[in-house]
Amino acid sequence: MNNAALLKRYRLKPHLPRHVAIIMDGNGRWAKKRRLPRIAGHRAGAHSIREIVRLSGELGIEALTLYAFSTENWKRPKTEVGLLMQLLKQYLRSEVEELLRNNVQLRTIGNTEDLPAEIQRELEKAIHATAHCAGLRLVLALSYSGRADLARAAREIAKEAKAGKLDPADITEKTIAQALSTADFPEVDLLIRTSGEFRVSNFLLWELAYSEFHITKTLWPDFRTPHFIRALRDFQGRQRRFGGVESIVGSVMSWAR
């Protein structure tokens, strides 16, 4: 349910994106500008996460997927990866209460089995503790790669076919969408990327087929309520055609699943 008073306060129309995905980029540059170590940027970025998660829940957005760590990010210096993992652990430990207060259900996508065992345990705890929450679904993309997810889905589908449970002739877009790690969530209506980079960096390759893109120069640690509202207003001003001719407002695409 949308929060009518909040919509009014932020001068938003009622049709919000059902699912927003964010490439949270620019933490390192934020720190560099301040002559701080990169990890200070990641730490500051956690405050943006807290604010955007709470606001998304209050507004009535159904799902928020945050690109927190890509499979390619394992290539970063060991010290940065280690510190990022520590920060993730701290976030999970300190945020469960806040997630529960805001009725937020935590989920993940990505190769979480690649994460350190203690992070996996913290994740499981937080996912379990918030499983009953019926508000916003917060999806953390961790050790995520869009191509790897598609490859995994292909392997799963091939196994079904080999076992004689599925006729290859019956494989449709829906079969693939349902085998992806995002199968439980609505279509991604809006993709936001901070720090001004015009690329998708292996994020949600299948799911972004008809998403609206909002790219801002704002660095992730500076991205707070006014920036998110601006992105939502930008989305609300778009004409979504989905290849057709009529203007379709908001999230009405239903062909993929």
184 counts as catalytic: no
- The residues of the shown chain that bind Mg ion, judged by CB under 5 A, are 25
Cα–Cα distance measured from residue 151 to residue 167, given in angstroms and rounded to the nearest whole number:
19
Cα–Cα distance measured from residue 93 to residue 167, given in angstroms and rounded to the nearest whole number:
45
Q: Which of 25, 27, 102, 149 is catalytic?
A: 25
- 146 in contact with ligand IPE (CB under 6 A): no
* Residues 6 or more apart in contact with residue 36 via CB below 8 angstroms: none
Residue placing its CB nearer to ligand IPE in the complex, 84 or 190: 84
Q: C-alpha distances in angstroms, 79 versus 24, 39, 86, 110, 115?
A: 20, 10, 11, 22, 15
114 counts as catalytic: no
Q: Which of 20, 13, 2, 10 is nearest to 190 (CA)?
A: 20
Plot region of 35 (φ>0 → left; ψ -120 to 50 → alpha; else → beta): left
Q: Exactly one of 159, 197, 225, 249 binds ligand IPE (CB under 6 A); which one? A: 197
> Which residue's C-beta sits nearest to ligand IPE?
28
- 52 in contact with ligand IPE (CB under 6 A): no
The minimum distance between CB 142 and ligand IPE, in angstroms, equals 9
**Single-letter code of the amino acid located at 122:** E
Q: Which of 2, 3, 73, 202 is catalytic?
A: 73
Residue position matching structure tokens 């893109």: 213
Residue placing its CB nearer to ligand IPE in the complex, 9 or 33: 33
- 67 in contact with ligand IPE (CB under 6 A): yes
Interface residues with ligand IPE (CB under 6 A)? 23-29, 67-70, 73, 84, 195, 197, 199, 201
**Catalytic center residues:** 25, 73
